Amino acid sequence: MVRHVTIFDTTLRDGEQAPGNTMTPEEKLRLARQLDALGVDVLEAGFPAASEGDARSVREIALELRRPVIAALARCHERDIDLAGEAIREAARGRLHVFLSTSDLHLEHKLRMTRDEALELARRSIRQARRYTEDVEFSAEDASRTDLDFLCQVAEMAIAEGATTVNLPDTVGYALPEEYGRMFEEVRARVAGADRVVWSAHCHDDLGLAVANSLAAIAAGATQVECTVNGIGERAGNAALEEIVMAGKVRPQLARFETSIHTQEIYRTSQLLAYLTGSFPQPNKAIVGRNAFAHEAGIHQHGVLQHGLTYEIIRPESVGIPRSTLVLGKHSGRHALERRYQELGYDLTEEKLTQLYRDFTALADRKREVLDEDLLALLHESFHDAPEEHLLTHLRVICGSVNAEAEVRMTGPWSGERSAQARGDGPIAAAFAAISEILERPVEVINLSLRSVTPGRDSVGQVFLQCRIGGKSLSGQGASTDIVEASARALVHALNKERHAERLEATAYNSTQHWGV
């Protein structure tokens, strides 16, 4: 029998929790819209008690997205549950997700509680959550290391109190597939009322087994899996959504489950997340890595050309990776650009097309062939989540064996243009020093990473910057065939976000949140 498995996406909560993945509320909303297009059933939008920013994000997502269930996480604390309940109040379908550790290790060393105390606290919390919604999920954190009798006792209580989903997480990625599957079988067989609830798996990848464990749980009766796009998440990450979904699609006879995911949206979602966080999947990452469909060996290339299925178990188009047939260049017109974006799955507004055509012609002047990856970089670059108040109008650097020197001109919220010259250890340091001087903002660089968007010497360089400005953690990104210019653009992007954050704070918006880092 083929069962429907609910895809519970936690990219915006467990995924975002990992260092370096933090997104602004605007970025979260943009990703949430794409997760909706991807077809996730449940979208865990955040942890409202973590910050006012998280609470606001959950509220905004719940207000706008009416199809998926919007979940908010809460510890078994009264205040957490109230905040999560408030955050999903306007949702068309809201879920309150409460969790408590159940393993003796966590009870003794983290919560300093007895089993009985934990059981009572979980009971009170589920009751409180039920006052906000009928859709309550209970997670027994560290379930895979919990004594089985106690786990059954907790699960039975959760069902009796009205939880509708019971999640048994492998919080520290410790379980092996057979063992994790057996836990689901035994708990489901022993607990009264087991057939009244949805059983959910939530796996971390510390041993590289998160997807295998999720599949084992499905085989053992779980009908919900919690996962993240690109497998991002704490430490080694969470189970990768795209891998679970495609395992079910490619091996239906064995896996015997289906999902509601629109697989053609997988690549687009993966790329959007990567651009928002600056963290791209490793090249050999299954399904979405740059090399996932590249065939270097001649014998493989020959086979794939004769018949795709010889060495390819998934058609790239089925996950939204277009096989490029059209290369654009400086003679390509606006119409060709619009058509290529359409083929890549993006319908552009007239205004966006005008902006992108301008950026495209500037790029085509510097680069002979403009490839799909370049177009994606231009598109993502064009979504500045903060108004572009500071603009870089001129950059010149001199570098070599002597100290580098940069000359920068900018326009901004001041009348007219400002310029500065500065020196630095290298061209990027010099450009940053000149920008800092113009804006009178000291900048502390935390990390700067560079990625070449396409192969080739004329490739566009994409710079992702993490920095601190005025006590705030910020991220910025910039793209150019010149990596010094790309870095300067990334810094200006971060500075624009800082200005945007200041404006929001001035309208009484909480300032403790992170702005993109």
List of residues contacting Zn ion (CB under 5 A): 14
Comparing CB distances to ligand KIV, the nearer of 18 and 483 is 18
For the chain, counts of helices (H) and of strands (E): 17, 16
| Span interacting with ligand KIV, options 78-86, 155-163, 164-172, 488-496, rule CB under 6 A | 164-172
| Span interacting with ligand KIV, options 156-164, 167-175, 276-284, 495-503, rule CB under 6 A | 167-175
Comparing CB distances to ligand KIV, the nearer of 181 and 237 is 237
CB of 73 to Zn ion, least distance (A): 10
- Residue 372 interacts, among ligand KIV, Zn ion, none and using kind-specific CB cut-offs from 5 to 8 Å, with none
Q: Is 99 in the site for ligand KIV (CB under 6 A)?
A: yes
CB of 277 to Zn ion, least distance (A): 17
User: φ, ψ for residue 93 (rounded to 5)?
Assistant: -140, 105
Q: What is the footprint of ligand KIV within residues 185-204 (CB under 6 A)?
A: 202, 204
Rounded distance, CA 321 to CA 100, Å? 40
Comparing CB distances to Zn ion, the nearer of 14 and 374 is 14
Identify whether the C-beta of residue 139 lies closer than 8 Å to the C-beta of residue 98.
Answer: yes
Rounded distance, CA 85 to CA 94, Å? 9
The pair of three-digit structure tokens given for residue 496, joined into one six-digit string: 């624009």
Rounded distance, CA 392 to CA 492, Å? 7
CB of 143 to Zn ion, least distance (A): 11
Q: For residue 362, what are the contacts with CB-CB under 8 A and spacing of at least 6?
A: none
Rounded distance, CA 145 to CA 412, Å? 56
The pair of three-digit structure tokens given for residue 458, joined into one six-digit string: 């004329």
- Residue 499 interacts, among ligand KIV, Zn ion, none and using kind-specific CB cut-offs from 5 to 8 Å, with none
Comparing CB distances to ligand KIV, the nearer of 172 and 370 is 172
Residue type, position 29, single letter: L
Rounded distance, CA 374 to CA 369, Å? 9
Q: Is 180 in the site for ligand KIV (CB under 6 A)?
A: no
Binding mask 133-152 for ligand KIV (x = CB under 6 A): ------x-x-----------
- Residue 199 interacts, among Zn ion, ligand KIV, none and using kind-specific CB cut-offs from 5 to 8 Å, with none
Rounded distance, CA 136 to CA 426, Å? 55
User: φ, ψ for residue 356 (rounded to 5)?
Assistant: -70, -35
CB of 317 to ligand KIV, least distance (A): 34
Binding mask 2-21 for ligand KIV (x = CB under 6 A): ------------x-------
User: Taking phi first (over 0 means left), then psi (-120 to 50 degrees means alpha), and beta for anything else, what does residue 329 get?
Assistant: beta
CB of 171 to Zn ion, least distance (A): 6
Q: Is 171 in the site for ligand KIV (CB under 6 A)?
A: yes
- Residue 16 interacts, among ligand KIV, Zn ion, none and using kind-specific CB cut-offs from 5 to 8 Å, with none
Rounded distance, CA 318 to CA 443, Å? 44
Q: What is the footprint of ligand KIV within residues 203-232 (CB under 6 A)?
A: 204
Comparing CB distances to Zn ion, the nearer of 204 and 451 is 204
Burial 382-412 (b: 16+ CB within 10 A, else e): eeebbeeebebeebebebeeeebbbbbbbeb
Q: How many angstroms separate the first and last alpha carbons of the chain?
A: 45
CB of 306 to ligand KIV, least distance (A): 45
Q: Is 513 in the site for ligand KIV (CB under 6 A)?
A: no
User: φ, ψ for residue 240 (rounded to 5)?
Assistant: -80, 125
CB of 234 to Zn ion, least distance (A): 6
Comparing CB distances to ligand KIV, the nearer of 143 and 428 is 143
| Span interacting with ligand KIV, options 166-174, 212-220, 256-264, 265-273, rule CB under 6 A | 166-174
Helices marked H in 131-258: 148-160, 177-190, 210-219, 241-250, 252-255
Comparing CB distances to Zn ion, the nearer of 205 and 385 is 205
Rounded distance, CA 507 to CA 501, Å? 10
- Residue 340 interacts, among ligand KIV, Zn ion, none and using kind-specific CB cut-offs from 5 to 8 Å, with none
CB of 170 to ligand KIV, least distance (A): 8
Kindly tell me which residue out of 15, 53, 169, 516 binds ligand KIV, with binding defined by CB under 6 A.
169
Comparing CB distances to ligand KIV, the nearer of 81 and 504 is 81
CB of 7 to ligand KIV, least distance (A): 15
Q: DSSP string spanning 67-103?
A: SSEEEEEEES-HHHHHHHHHHTTT-SSEEEEEEEE-S
Give residues in contact with ligand KIV (CB under 6 A).
14, 99, 139, 141, 167, 169, 171, 202, 204
